[in-house]
Amino acid sequence: MGEDEVTLGVEEEYLLLEQETGLPAPCAQRVHDDARIESGLGHEEVDRELLQAQMEIATPVCGSLDEVRDHLTRLREAVTGAADRAGCHLAAVGGLPTPAWRDVPVTRERRYQKMHAEARRLVDEQLICGMHIHVAVPSRSVGASALGRVRPWLPVLLALGGNSPFWQGQDTGFSSWRTVVFGRWPVSGSPPFVADAADYDERVEALTATGVIPDRKQLYWLARLSERYPTLEVRAPDVQLDVEDAVTIAGLARALVSTAIREAQHAERALDPPASVMHAAEWHAARHGLSGTLVDPRHGTQADAADVVRALLDHTSAALKESGDAEQVAAGVRRFLDKGTGADRQRAAEREGGMAAVLALISEDRPA
């Protein structure tokens, strides 16, 4: 790993589903314990989530996309095996697609129990799963400056990462319904544009001072500074159907942050769309994915989705070349444009075999 190499790590959330019905299976504790005992996963590598039908994995710090691929494959296989032994399926999907679900118990942690008491319905329906990419930043201040420069391109990552078209057994018409569900929380969507760490912290302190959110963990922006690691955390995409798509998005996210760091260090002029424009761009990306147009952040107008994705590749090209990821990420982007997003593939499965085919698709053990 070179001295100037920008490291990254990836977290993925999954649903646990009953094998026969596709309903949520509240067996997270058993899957968690089995994955640690039988597969030897570390404490930092596998964890429970808000609801007892959700799991989360986290890779170690990685220097290359090959490392990301290897760790995601290893972790998915380990947790899939643990789920099988618990009599349920691990599903890599952004939102629960089945037509009905029972109430799922909240994980027995004080913070989660308090969230349920404060926003019962929202927590009960939080059967959604995302992908979070942590990209190392040299300092908190540089990370804050980079955050604003990443911000205009987040809807493009959201569009690439759409993998939640179904909800309560119905086609929502959206590529990422998870984005809509998450948007009901007090602090969500695009982060603010900030100049530095002091500006970021001032805005966050103003939010927490309202008492509406209890702590910084409820900053559910599409990207934020991590409070735990020296990273900028990109949270826009749904969890991906397979590892290859996850690796492509991770590579793009790292290149986007690296480009933003370079621009911030050279004091280059930053794009700063109004919050209302960002909200519209995010909504449009969640609605259409790659199937039509996206809002081009350079101009603030709609353009062909494929052209906007290629613009992101061009914007990050120097960083992709520097990390050695250019060919791999470009090939992954072509795969998205040719085969569609996870949402497109779910819809294709539903047309061929109904909801049973969707459940088979999202629950397959697909390391690549």
Quote the percentage of the chain above a pLDDT of 90.
90
Rg (CA), the chain: 19
- What's the maximum distance between 2 C-alpha atoms anywhere in the chain? 56
Q: Could you please report the per-residue DSSP string of 122-186?
A: HHHT--B-BEEEEEE-S-HHHHHHHHHHHGGGHHHHHHHT--B-EETTEE-S-SBHHHHHHTTSS
Q: How confident is the model at residue 53 (pLDDT cuts 50, 70, 90)?
A: very high
- Model confidence over 79-89: pLDDT tens digits? 999 999 999 99
Rounded mean pLDDT, 278-300:
97
Q: How many residues in total does the chain contain? A: 368
- Does residue 361 form part of some domain? no
Mean pLDDT of the chain: 94
Residues 11-24 have a mean pLDDT of 95
Mean pLDDT of 69-87: 96
Q: Nearest CA to 191 among 147, 161, 253? A: 147
Q: Tell me how far the alpha carbon of residue 231 is from its chain's centroid.
A: 15
Q: How confident is the model at residue 2 (pLDDT cuts 50, 70, 90)?
A: very low
Q: Tell me if 148 is assigned to some domain.
A: yes
For 236-270, how does the pLDDT look when each residue is reduced to its tens digit (9 = 90+)? Answer: 999 999 999 999 999 999 999 999 999 998 888 89
Q: What share of the chain is helix, strand, coil (3-state, %, to 5)?
A: 50, 15, 35
Domain count, the chain: 1
Residue 168 lies in a domain: yes
Q: Do 106 and 117 form a contact (C-beta atoms < 8 A)?
A: no
Instruction: Tell me, yes or no, whether 354 lies in a domain.
Output: no
C-alpha 324/C-alpha 321 separation (Å) is: 5
E strand or H helix at 9: strand 8-18
CATH of the domain at 69: 3.30.590.20
Q: Is residue 282 part of a domain?
A: yes
45: number of CA atoms within 13 Å, CB side?
21
Q: How confident is the model at residue 322 (pLDDT cuts 50, 70, 90)?
A: very high
87: containing domain:
8-343
What is the pLDDT at residue 4? 65
- The verdict on residue 350 lying in a domain is no
In a domain, 2, yes or no: no
Average pLDDT over residues 185-199: 95
Contact (CB, 8 A) for 226 and 134: yes
Q: What whole-number distance in Å separates Cα of residue 68 and Cα of residue 246?
A: 9
C-beta of residue 254 within 8 angstroms of C-beta of residue 323? yes
pLDDT mean over 104-110:
93
Token pair 């987040």 is found at: 154
Question: Per-residue pLDDT averaged across 339-355, rounded?
Answer: 97
What is the rounded average pLDDT of the residues 308-326? Answer: 97
pLDDT at site 85: 95
Mean pLDDT of the 145-162 span: 97
Chain-centroid distance of CA 164 in Å reads: 12
Please indicate, yes or no, if residue 360 is contained in any of the structural domains.
no
Residues 180-209 have a mean pLDDT of 95
